[in-house]
Amino acid sequence: MLRTKWLRTEDMKILSVVGARPNFMKIAPIIRAIHLKNRTHQGLADRDSCNPTIISHILVHTGQHYDKGMSDAFFRDLDLPAPDIFLGVGSGTHAVQTSEIIRRFEPILLDHQPDLMIVVGDVNSTVACAMVAAKLTYEDGKRTFIAHVEAGLRSFDRSMPEEINRIVTDHISDLLFVTEQSGVDNLKREGIAAEKIFFVGNTMIDTLLAFRDLAAQSDALHTLGLVEPNGRMQSTVPYALVTLHRPSNVDNRVTFLEILKALKKISEKMPVIFPVHPRTRKQIASFQVANSATFNGNGSQIDARPGPGDLCLIDPLGYLDFLCLMSKARIVLTDSGGIQEETTCLGVPCVTIRRNTERPVTVANGTNILSGVEMQSIVDASNEQLNKTFSRELPECWDGNAACRIIDIIVEYFKVKGIDAYRS
């Protein structure tokens, strides 16, 4: 049965899931968009007596990432509400981590029975929670509707755990929110019905645009000795910024050494600042590679002003400090997915130390280039990027409004179809 103009207040309950570092930037604007929607409808309700949609929201953190620098710092920087539920899953093999999330999340879903669950990105928490919701039918015969934000991305490399997570999550979700045209094309090619697919833009970019000015006030450049006097002014020392954490790059000693050699070579031109992911930190210790490259710095503070030849290892940074460093970098080298997109938005040259990308719009835009993982190809790609000029045109819909579009679409869907029709 279709509902009238507005749903009743108690009808819309959304539960969102986060687990790992990149999830926090993707969910933050969605939570803000929910609050905005509620406030707007509250205003409408005050003016006329229509029955407003009030979305109640529950935030679940699986605890896949748990270090302060990988989780708490992001909640603080992004002004995220504390999670309503923390599952404390922690690390493990893929099977252990995924199954533990599934085991701990099922009672939460049973308890709250939300109308809609939002999962973001491609981490183990994303697929695990989507699988729980897809298989759970409540006593009244209804189920929770699943929305996947950042759907449709494909690297076409099934050795990447994230590729498996993306495919499975997309195929069991009900609403697919896509960041770039390739995502729409991939989903359609895989036989997903067009009416489930919505090209809305990129919520990670919403966050970047919202926090860019605040990030510019970070003192990270000063702390890291990357500012030098220039007459009566100060200028930023040209530097390269690096992140590495893909198992295919850091879990294999030969590959990892090859990449470190390239970074060392690049550091002869300009200092390389390298905030080290915990996985990578572990591998540096276990491979005993610290002697293979001259490292400078061993925490968030660097002892001396970094200069040519310095490869500076520092602790992982919070969102604002990292955004500040990324905005001012001469070049970024990374194997992250999100950083390819963020550098595209910032117009900063990026070298992706991988053979493929699930985000081809960043390459088409020109800011990003794939280098592969060999020492010489990484150095060549860096030189190419440093000598290139590219247009500052942003990909379609990367305008800071993706999250509002998502919430509008969700509300419209539930309004038009009626919540009961959707949950059965």
Task: Provide the annotated active-site residues.
Answer: 245
Among 4, 91, 286, 376, binds ligand UD1 (CB under 6 A): 91
Subset of residues 160 to 189 that bind ligand UD1, contact rule: CB under 6 A: 161-162
Candidates 58-66, 99-107, 263-271, 357-365: pick the segment binding ligand UD1 (CB under 6 A).
Answer: 58-66
- Mention every residue, 6+ apart, whose C-beta is less than 8 A from residue 418: 1, 2, 3
- Which of these segments, 140-148, 220-228, 273-281, 375-383, binds ligand UD1 (CB under 6 A)? 273-281
Task: State in angstroms the smallest separation of the CB of 54 from ligand UD1.
Answer: 33
Nearer to ligand UD1, 171 or 279 (CB): 279
Closest contact distance (angstroms) between CB of 375 and ligand UD1 is: 23
Task: Give one DSSP letter per residue of 252-292, joined into a string.
Answer: SHHHHHHHHHHHHHHHTTS-EEEEPPHHHHHHHHHHT-GGG
Residue 266 CA to its chain's centroid (Å):
27
Packing angle, helices 375-386 and 253-267, rounded to 10: 40
Cα–Cα nearest to 345, from 385, 394, 400, 403: 394
Instruction: Assess contact for 96 and 133: CB atoms under 8 A.
Output: no
Whether the CA torsion 104, 106, 110, 113 is positive or negative: it is positive
CA 282 to chain centre: 22
Name which of 243 and 327 has its Cβ closer to ligand UD1.
Answer: 243
Closest distance to ligand UD1 from the beta carbon of 3 (Å): 38
Q: Which two tokens stand for residue 159?
A: 């050795």
CB of 239 to ligand UD1, least distance (A): 22
124 lines the binding site for ligand UD1 (CB under 6 A):
yes
For ligand UD1, what does the binding mask look like between residues 242 and 271, x meaning CB under 6 A?
---x--------------------------
Per-residue x/- track, 283-322, ligand UD1 (CB under 6 A):
----------------------------------------
Is 66 a residue that touches ligand UD1 (CB under 6 A)?
Answer: yes
Q: 52 or 275, CB closer to ligand UD1?
A: 275
Contact 316, 336 (CB under 8 A): no
**Near ligand UD1 by CB under 6 A, which window of 138-146, 272-280, 286-294, 386-394?**
272-280
Per CB under 6 A, 365 contacts ligand UD1: no
**Following CA atoms 221, 204, 75, 134 in sequence, which dihedral angle do they give, to the nearest 10 degrees?**
-150
CB of 367 to ligand UD1, least distance (A): 20
According to DSSP, the β-strands at 175-178 and 197-199 are: parallel
Residues 225, 208: Cα–Cα separation, whole Å: 24
In the chain, count of helices (H) and strands (E)?
17, 16
109, 136 Cβ separation under 8 angstroms? yes
With binding defined as CB under 6 A, does residue 330 bind ligand UD1?
Answer: no
**Which helix (H) or strand (E) covers residue 145, if one does?**
strand 145-151
Tokens 């290139």 belong to residue: 388
Given 16, 38, 53, 64, the residue binding ligand UD1 (CB under 6 A): 64
40: Cβ contacts below 8 Å, ≥ 6 apart? none
Q: Radius of gyration of the chain from Cα atoms?
A: 22
CB 200 within 8 Å of CB 177: yes
The reply to whether 80 sits near ligand UD1 by the rule CB under 6 A is no
Q: Report the nearest approach of ligand UD1 to the CB of residue 369 (Å).
A: 20
Which of 4, 8, 50, 67 is close enough to bind ligand UD1 by CB under 6 A? 67
123 is a site residue for ligand UD1 (CB under 6 A): yes
**Considering only residues 6, 14, 22, 118, which one is a binding residue for ligand UD1 as defined by CB under 6 A?**
22
Taking the complex as a whole, the smallest distance from the CB of residue 243 to ligand UD1 amounts, in Å, to: 9
The two structure tokens encoding residue 194: 């067009």
Residue keyed to tokens 């002869």: 268
Q: Binders of ligand UD1: how many residues, by CB under 6 A?
A: 19
Q: How far is CA 251 from CA 156, 171, 216, 263, 355, in A?
A: 21, 30, 34, 17, 16
CB 326 to ligand UD1: min, Å: 15
Task: By CB under 6 A, name the one of 278, 347, 372, 418 that touches ligand UD1.
Answer: 278
- Residue 54 CA to its chain's centroid (Å): 27
Residue 238 or 278: the one with the smaller Cβ distance to ligand UD1 is: 278
Contact window for ligand UD1 (CB under 6 A) among 4-12, 118-126, 197-205, 207-215: 118-126
- Is 282 a residue that touches ligand UD1 (CB under 6 A)? yes
Residues that bind ligand UD1 (CB under 6 A): 20-22, 64-67, 70, 91, 122-124, 161-162, 245, 277-279, 282
